Amino acid sequence: MTLSEEDYIKAIYHLSKDDKGNVSTNAIAAQMDSKASSVTDMMKKLAEKDVVHYKKYQGARLTDKGKSYAAKIIRKHRLWEFFLVEKLNFSWDEVHEIAEELEHIKSEKLIEKLDAFLDFPRTDPHGDPIPDKHGNITKVEKILLSSAKNNEKGIVIGVKDSSSDFLRYLDKLGISLGKEITILHKEPFDNSVMINLDGEKTSISALTANNIYLKIN
Amino acid sequence: MTLSEEDYIKAIYHLSKDDKGNVSTNAIAAQMDSKASSVTDMMKKLAEKDVVHYKKYQGARLTDKGKSYAAKIIRKHRLWEFFLVEKLNFSWDEVHEIAEELEHIKSEKLIEKLDAFLDFPRTDPHGDPIPDKHGNITKVEKILLSSAKNNEKGIVIGVKDSSSDFLRYLDKLGISLGKEITILHKEPFDNSVMINLDGEKTSISALTANNIYLKIN
DNA sequence: CAAGATTTTTAGAAATGTCTAAAAAATTAT
DNA sequence: ATAATTTTTTAGACATTTCTAAAAATCTTG
Ligand SMILES: [Mn+2]
Ligand SMILES: [Mn+2]
Ligand SMILES: [Mn+2]
Ligand SMILES: [Mn+2]
């Protein structure tokens, strides 16, 4: 599989995460920052290789083979991100881009040895689960901060948006994985959320609250 | 610079190591396992980018820019090899192929952090020097085992051939970097060399002796 | 349901990197 | 110094990946 094919497979995987149906040509083009016509070409090729189901005008979805392949790329991506943060002291907003390249390195043995060296981490620096070597992903119960109720208390276990900009903003707010947050009040006017973080009252915008995952209890 | 361009730059660098002159089109093709016509095409492109001096029918050599670029790729290659052996417990015959991919990962910051994580190693697992971040390479005095004289004693500090086959053969002989070898006798008939290794007499073929570097004294 | 709008595909082209076969230049040998 | 040989370049082709523009299909809406 070429680098380009792998990136398309990953894009379809991420677009399929939420809803089960087919992913539209335009949605893939947007995700890949390419054009619909390029997607059509690629879908024909990936269908030929049996990694996607594709019918004209009906979008695409991954086959079992495609899903397994996607999980392997994501496993590599997240293990490398973990390595960059834990061993090389990168911050969580710097690693995505580099992992985007490292995820395409081909050796199976490399990734198993890396996994062992890192002591078999379960989640990446953004709280996302690392698939095991068979492609199985452990789902963790989590809710968006924006949907937590008053007086609920939770631990930050992930982010929905893992762009550099958002992650650096969280750094500035003092929010990182593992922090305890208590919901004090939800403001109906602008859907902002007043929280208790490290014993201090802080107001979080609706957009921010909608991109932080909490584990409740 | 593309992956392909980087591999050509590296090939010219390695071919230029010994003699200073221009490298022939055919020599590059042989090194790259490609065809002379492909090399001609690529040399035109690399000359356009000012990394090689190239004149029709006269071969190519790296410009200063090209040399500096080559040193950077080789730095990455050798740091990754060191990482694979020292941190991930690969054996020295397994790492070249993987480093061949890793050397193309683009982040400058990554390689500086990797260097620090590895505690600034000076040589790779095959005894080859790791260029510093400015591309400077420290030359180490060394001779081929085949050119050592009777009764000379030396430390194995490198190999000329670092193919898997040769390295695995050295493993079998019990020869690794750091081992002390004493030359007992050179057999004129087949140029084989009788050595003392770990207190035992061993005979080394001319070919083998011609691919092991020693530091004398 | 019939425009009208949107999405998707096709057609055609460009850039990259590679190859084979043939031509041209350089080198070696007679 | 010619001829034979080897090296190198050119010409033309193919596979990938991508794009723009235009056509076709599907969806939306009055
Ligand atoms: Mn990628
Ligand atoms: Mn991540
Ligand atoms: Mn390479
Ligand atoms: Mn090496």
Two tokens at A85?
Answer: 């943060």
**pLDDT > 90: what percent of chain B?**
97
DSSP code of residue A128 = P
Q: How far apart are CA B178 and CA B79, in angstroms?
A: 19
Domain annotation covers residue A103: no
Query: B139 CA distance to ligand 2 centroid (A)?
Result: 41
pLDDT given at position A217: 81
What are residue B202's phi and psi, to 5 degrees?
Answer: -135, 145
Domain annotation covers residue A148: yes
The CA distance from B169 to the nearest CA of chain A, in Å, is 22
Q: How far apart are CA B42 and CA B133, in angstroms?
A: 27
In this structure, of A169-183, B7-21, B65-79, the range with the lowest mean pLDDT score is B7-21
Distances (CA, A) of B19 to A60, B91, B131: 56, 31, 20
Range of the domain at A168: 143-216
pLDDT given at position B18: 81
Q: How far apart are CA B28 and CA B12, in angstroms?
A: 7
Give residue B131's identity as a one-letter amino acid code: P
* Mean confidence (pLDDT) of chain A: 97
Residue B2's SS3 state is: coil
Using pLDDT thresholds of 50, 70 and 90, give the confidence band for residue B144: very high
Across the interface, which of B88, B110, B114 has its CB nearest the CB of A117? B88
**Residues of B with Cβ-Cβ distance to A90 under 8 angstroms:** 109, 113
* B154 and B214 Cβ atoms separated by less than 8 Å: yes
Domain boundary among B11, B42, B62: B62
Q: How far apart are CA A201 and CA A181, in angstroms?
A: 10
* A23 and A59 Cβ atoms separated by less than 8 Å: yes
Two tokens at B146?
Answer: 């085949």
Q: How far apart are CA B178 and CA A68, in angstroms?
A: 44
What's the rounded mean pLDDT across residues A30-52? 97
Domain annotation covers residue B34: yes
pTM of the model: 0.95
Two tokens at A75?
Answer: 């496993």
DSSP code of residue B13 = H
CA dihedral B24, B28, B29, B32 (to 10 degrees): 180
Q: How far apart are CA B30 and CA B24, in angstroms?
A: 10
Residue B121: Cβ-neighbour burial (10 angstroms; 0-12, 13-18, 19+) = middle
pLDDT, tens digit (0-9, with 9 covering 90-100), for B88-108? 999 999 999 999 999 999 999
Q: How many CB pairs under 8 A join A and B?
A: 37
pLDDT, tens digit (0-9, with 9 covering 90-100), for B15-51? 998 888 999 999 999 999 999 999 999 999 999 999 9
pLDDT given at position B217: 81
Domain annotation covers residue B180: yes
Q: Which of A95, A153, A161 is nearest to A124 (CA)?
A: A95
Q: Is the CB of B42 under 7 A from strand C?
A: yes
Question: Which of A100, A105, A111, A120 should be substituted to probe chain B, the one whose Cβ sees the most B Cβ atoms within 10 Å?
Answer: A105
pLDDT, tens digit (0-9, with 9 covering 90-100), for B105-118? 999 999 999 999 99
pLDDT given at position A7: 97
Residue B25: Cβ-neighbour burial (10 angstroms; 0-12, 13-18, 19+) = buried
Domain boundary among A41, A62, A83: A62
User: Could you tell me the CATH number of the domain that includes residue A153?
Assistant: 2.30.30.90
Q: Which of A109, A178, A182, A177 is nearest to A151 (CA)?
A: A182
Q: Which residues pair with B194 in a beta bridge?
A: B185, B203
pLDDT, tens digit (0-9, with 9 covering 90-100), for B158-200? 999 999 999 999 999 999 999 999 999 999 999 999 999 999 9
**Residues of A with Cβ-Cβ distance to B110 under 8 angstroms:** 84, 88, 98
pLDDT of residue A20 exceeding 90: no
Domain annotation covers residue A151: yes
pLDDT of residue A19 exceeding 90: no
User: Could you tell me the CATH number of the domain that includes residue B58?
Assistant: 1.10.10.10
Residue in B closest to A117 by C-alpha: B88
Q: Which residues does A62 contact at the CB level (< 8 Å), separation at least 6?
A: A9, A12, A13, A16, A51, A52, A53, A70
> In chain A, how many domains are there?
2
What's the rounded mean pLDDT across residues A177-198? 96
Domain annotation covers residue B193: yes
pLDDT, tens digit (0-9, with 9 covering 90-100), for A47-86? 999 999 999 999 999 999 999 999 999 999 999 999 999 9
pLDDT of residue B58 exceeding 90: yes
Query: Helix B64-86 and helix B3-16: axis angle, to 10°?
Result: 100
Two tokens at A182?
Answer: 């208590």
Domain annotation covers residue A198: yes
pLDDT of residue A18 exceeding 90: no
Q: How far apart are CA A118 and CA A112, in angstroms?
A: 10
pLDDT, tens digit (0-9, with 9 covering 90-100), for A196-211? 999 999 999 999 999 9
| CB-CB under 8 Å, A107 with B98 | yes
* A43 and A25 Cβ atoms separated by less than 8 Å: yes
Residue B214's SS3 state is: strand
Give residue B138's identity as a one-letter amino acid code: T
Tell me which H or E stretch contains B153. strand B153-159
Domain annotation covers residue A87: no
pLDDT of residue B205 exceeding 90: yes
Q: How far apart are CA B75 and CA B42, in angstroms?
A: 23
pLDDT, tens digit (0-9, with 9 covering 90-100), for A132-151? 999 999 999 999 999 999 99
Domain boundary among B36, B62, B88: B62
Cα atoms in the Cβ-side hemisphere of radius 13 Å centred on A177: 16
